[in-house]
Protein backbone atom coordinates (compact mmCIF):
# COMPACT_ATOMS: atom_id res chain seq x y z
CA UNK A 1 0.00 0.00 0.00
CA UNK A 2 1.07 3.54 -0.66
CA UNK A 3 -0.04 6.73 1.05
CA UNK A 4 -1.13 9.59 -1.21
CA UNK A 5 -1.35 13.24 -0.27
CA UNK A 6 -4.70 14.93 -0.84
CA UNK A 7 -4.38 18.71 -1.27
CA UNK A 8 -7.77 19.69 0.15
CA UNK A 9 -8.10 17.34 3.10
CA UNK A 10 -10.36 19.10 5.60
CA UNK A 11 -10.86 15.84 7.50
CA UNK A 12 -7.09 15.38 7.91
CA UNK A 13 -7.33 11.66 7.16
CA UNK A 14 -4.59 9.61 5.55
CA UNK A 15 -5.43 8.09 2.16
CA UNK A 16 -3.83 4.84 1.01
CA UNK A 17 -3.99 3.12 -2.36
CA UNK A 18 -3.04 -0.28 -3.65
CA UNK A 19 -0.77 0.13 -6.66
CA UNK A 20 0.26 3.34 -8.38
CA UNK A 21 -2.34 5.15 -10.50
CA UNK A 22 -1.36 6.99 -13.67
CA UNK A 23 -2.87 10.31 -12.69
CA UNK A 24 -1.91 11.91 -16.00
CA UNK A 25 -4.34 9.52 -17.70
CA UNK A 26 -7.31 10.62 -15.57
CA UNK A 27 -9.29 13.64 -16.75
CA UNK A 28 -9.19 16.52 -14.25
CA UNK A 29 -12.98 16.57 -13.81
CA UNK A 30 -13.07 12.81 -13.26
CA UNK A 31 -10.27 12.96 -10.69
CA UNK A 32 -12.02 15.77 -8.82
CA UNK A 33 -15.30 13.85 -8.74
CA UNK A 34 -13.55 10.70 -7.48
CA UNK A 35 -11.90 12.64 -4.66
CA UNK A 36 -15.17 14.38 -3.78
CA UNK A 37 -16.95 11.02 -3.61
CA UNK A 38 -14.21 9.58 -1.40
CA UNK A 39 -14.35 12.59 0.90
CA UNK A 40 -18.13 12.27 1.22
CA UNK A 41 -17.90 8.55 1.95
CA UNK A 42 -15.23 9.10 4.61
CA UNK A 43 -17.18 11.96 6.15
CA UNK A 44 -20.35 9.85 6.29
CA UNK A 45 -18.51 6.95 7.93
CA UNK A 46 -16.84 9.21 10.52
CA UNK A 47 -20.08 11.02 11.42
CA UNK A 48 -21.87 7.69 11.69
CA UNK A 49 -19.32 6.37 14.16
CA UNK A 50 -19.44 9.37 16.52
pLDDT more than 70, % of the chain: 94
Residue 31: pLDDT band (50, 70, 90) is confident
Question: Distance between CA atoms of 27 and 35, rounded to whole angstroms?
Answer: 12
Q: Is the pLDDT of residue 26 over 70?
A: yes
In this prediction, residues 32-49 reach a mean pLDDT of 86
Contacts of 7 (CB under 8 A, 6+ apart): none
Amino acid sequence: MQEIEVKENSLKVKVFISGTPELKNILKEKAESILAALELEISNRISGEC
